[in-house]
Amino acid sequence: MKIEMPSKPTKAAQLAGHQKLAIDGGVPIRSTLLPYSRQNISEEDIASVSEALRSDIITRGPYVQNFERAVADMVEMPYAVAFCNATAALHAVMAMIGAEKGRVITSPITFAATSNSVLYCNGKAEFQDVESSTMNLDPHSLKDLKDVVGVVPVDFSGNPCDYPEFQKLQAKYKFRLISDAAHSLGATLNKKPAGSFADITVFSFHPVKSLTTGEGGMVVCKNKEEAEFLQRFRSHGIVRTETPGFYRQEFLGFNYNVTDIQCALGLSQLKSLPNFISRREEIAMQYNEFFAKSDLVDIPVLTKGARSAWHLYPLRLKLEKLTTDRVQFLRALNAENIGANVHYIPVYWHPHYERMGYKRGLCPKAEHEYLREISIPVFPGMTAKDISDVCQAVEKVLAAYSR
């Protein structure tokens, strides 16, 4: 799909007395950059990490096990296995389900790690289209499921997918249902926690996520044998025995272990998670109230029965009512010192996937929504002024480029 070159604000907009954009030499809304997200680290978090550093064991120790148990309990799953990052966790899951034996369907609106994990296992990553409203994988439009090994819905922006509908398909076609919940720790669907709907769920603890361990990820699952496989996979495929000094490597695994230092931070952050999610929701509701008044943007839509974790606030431009495209709009917004971003380039648009034979036009809804999506700042540490600055800046740019 061709992206048109950016255009200039119309003369009508300039004559209407709109503020001059910073990108055109005007005064920016903010004097310093507001990022689209950042971590929240408290003194209690720092103290918890310091305590772990003073321990005899600082990796593969009790903090790891305690963090796994705490997350598993929170999302109402029996088993949890922590990894050095969510990509490693996804890789382990794809190895476990035998991704190389068939096709794995996922959303194109995700970070490349989701489908990359399938490729690591020599599997076939297949992209199917999203719901235009939520930008989540659409269970009603999935097709050709007879030889599918796994389906991986992605909880885009922290909004849980329509898992009851995916479960109906799973019952019919017998694929493994794997939730990429990298965005949605702390979210709920029909009052049940994200992570409790699929056979297997993967979480991310990157600094911009619901909580952070610096880098880190986790798999929660229902099956003890699968949890044991995941534990071995993250440690070279090695099994420890009761014989002192003796162990055996059962298969080719990887060194994907996480440290006690990271998990100490995760345990501490977990205490603040309800407050983090509530604050993100407060900010999102303020944005909803403000932007719902505009006929130049669409505000996010949630899955019925969902409470989002609001990892992102994906605002979508009504480009047919603007004199510019999304690229120039972002440049103008960034010039106002608002660190807006884009989530996500359709995965199969990346050069690596194009060289593999994936073609543009594969998922028309995803491509259309991508071209008009901007992620504006949302994170718990935002102040009232930060929120006001974002609203003013977006309104300023919209006014300058409105037809």
Beta bridge mates, 193: 188
Phi, then psi, of 322 in degrees rounded to 5: -120, 160
Question: How far from 342 is each of 32, 323, 352, 376, 377, CA to CA, in Å?
Answer: 20, 19, 20, 9, 11
SS3 275: helix
Domain shared by 296 and 261, yes or no: no
Same-domain pairing of 280 and 342: yes
Domain co-membership, 287 together with 227: no
Clarify whether residues 211 and 164 are in a common domain.
Answer: yes
**What CATH code is carried by the domain that includes residue 213?**
3.40.640.10
Q: Is residue 59 part of a domain?
A: yes
Residue 27 lies in a domain: yes
CATH of the domain at 342: 3.90.1150.10
Domain assignment present for residue 166? The answer is: yes
306 shares its domain with 323:
yes
Residue 3 counted as domain residue: no
**Does residue 110 sit in the same domain as residue 236?**
yes
The pLDDT value given to residue 18: 52
Rounded-to-integer distance, Cα 86 and Cα 297, Å: 32
CA 342 to chain CA mean position, Å = 12
Tell the residue number behind the tokens 């109402």, with chain if given.
Answer: 76
Q: For residue 183, is it within any domain?
A: yes
The residue among 231, 251, 268 that closes a domain is 268
- pTM for the predicted model, two decimal places: 0.94
From first to last of its 403 residues, what are the pLDDT tens digits of the chain?
A: 333 333 444 433 343 335 899 999 999 999 999 999 999 999 999 999 999 999 999 999 999 999 999 999 999 999 999 999 999 999 999 999 999 999 999 999 999 999 999 999 999 999 999 999 999 999 999 999 999 999 999 999 999 999 999 999 999 999 999 999 999 999 999 999 999 999 999 999 999 999 999 999 999 999 999 999 999 999 999 998 888 889 999 999 999 999 999 999 999 999 999 999 999 999 999 999 999 999 999 999 999 999 999 999 999 999 999 999 999 999 999 999 999 999 999 999 999 999 999 999 999 999 999 999 999 999 999 999 999 999 999 999 999 999 9
Beta bridge partners of 218: 82, 203
Q: Are residues 20 and 86 in the same domain?
A: no
**CA neighbor of 81 nearest in space, from 245, 229, 196:** 229
Q: In terms of domains, do 134 and 212 share one?
A: yes
- What pLDDT is attached to residue 399? 97
| Structural domain ending residue among the three candidates 268, 301, 323 | 268
Does residue 126 sit in the same domain as residue 243?
yes
Residue 1 lies in a domain: no
CB 220 within 8 A of CB 72: yes
Same domain? 240 vs 385:
no
Which amino acid, residue 97? I
* Residue partners of 16: CB distance under 8 A and separation at least 6: 399
Indicate the number of domains in the chain.
2
Q: To the nearest 10°, report the CA torsion of 135, 136, 138, 144.
A: 110
Residue 5 placed within a domain = no
Distance CA 277, CA 376 (A): 17
**Each residue's pLDDT tens digit, 290-312:** 999 999 999 999 999 999 999 99
The pLDDT of residue 53 is 98
Q: Is the domain of 177 the same as that of 98?
A: yes
| 194 belongs to a structural domain | yes
Given 217, 250, 268, which residue is the final one in a domain? 268
Give residue 29's pLDDT: 98
Residues 306 and 346 in one domain: yes
Range of the domain at 356: 11-37+273-401
**Token match 């491509």: residue?**
367
Q: Tens digit of pLDDT for each residue in 208-263?
A: 999 999 999 999 999 999 999 999 999 999 998 888 889 999 999 999 999 999 99
